[in-house]
Amino acid sequence: MKQPLIIGIAGGAGSGKTMLSRYLEERAQPFHVRVIAMDRYYKKERPQAVAPFHGNPFEDFNRPDALDIHRIMEDVRNEIAGGQAHLLIIEGFLLFHFTELLDLADLKIYVDCPPEERLLRRIPSFAKWGIAEEEVSAYASFVAYRHAQYVEPTKWHADMVVNGLCTHKGGEVVLEWIRTRLSRQEENRDRG
């Protein structure tokens, strides 16, 4: 059974993690790639928080206890045990907060992007979620607070920091590293 190469991609909400994941997934052919997006693993009942300016309560998606780490780890272990993927990409803004995921990653990437750009990228989501314009600044300030509290301090876990304003350049470097590592693994498997 082959062990997949595991890449962990973290960074702030709207930084370009998903864009980088898709770039790698599309271009890592002929290798089989699986992506686990942590955004799909929120608990049904999420922690509640109060927006700092207007005091309205809302579900707080921006903290580690909002994620179901047990389900994430179960799916990661199943992917590893399945032996189908050559490359397993795990991406999520809180990824580096979880030691069990850090320990699995062969390469840890942090996608860095200015907060103003990250906010601009999230505005279409605000409309989709029904968040009124006046609530955006309050919500954004809370997201910024949680980013400073839970995401930014984990950046030092990264082996590489990629510029979120231009992920394709960093993606090219990562892709070359992936191809080299996977080709070497295939050669060793063929000899063994």
Q: Are 85 and 4 in contact (CB under 8 A)?
A: yes
User: How do 87-91 and 5-11 pair as beta strands?
Assistant: parallel
Residue 124: per-residue pLDDT: 67
**Residue labelled with tokens 């995921």:** 101
Instruction: Give Cα separations from 105 to 18, 45, 67, 123, 124 (angstroms).
Output: 17, 28, 19, 31, 31
pLDDT of residue 156: 95
User: Cβ neighbours of residue 68 under 8 Å, at least 6 residues apart?
Assistant: 41, 42, 43
The predicted structure's pLDDT at residue 128: 66
Residue 133 is encoded by which pair of tokens?
């314009």
User: Which residues are CB-neighbours of 71 under 8 A, at least 6 positions away?
Assistant: 41
Read off the amino acid at residue 10.
A
- pLDDT of 63 reads 87
- Alpha helix segments (H runs only) across the chain: 17-27, 69-82, 99-104, 115-128, 133-146, 167-191
Residue 53: both structure tokens together: 């300016």
* Burial annotation 42-78 (CB, 10 A radius, 16+ → b, else e): eeeebeebebeeeeeeeebbbeeebbebeebeeebee
Residue 154 has what DSSP assignment?
G
**Domains within the chain, CATH numbers bracketed:** 5-186 (3.40.50.300)
| Cα 28 from Cα 172, distance rounded (Å) | 10
**pLDDT per residue of the chain (192 residues) written in tens, 0 to 9:** 578 999 999 998 889 999 999 999 999 989 999 999 999 999 988 777 776 656 667 777 788 999 999 999 999 999 999 989 999 999 999 999 999 999 999 999 999 988 777 777 776 666 666 665 655 665 666 777 788 889 999 999 999 999 888 778 889 999 999 999 999 988 887 776
Distance CA(168)–CA(181), nearest Å, equals: 20
Asked whether the beta carbons of 175 and 24 are under 8 A apart, the reply is: yes
pLDDT value, residue 132: 59
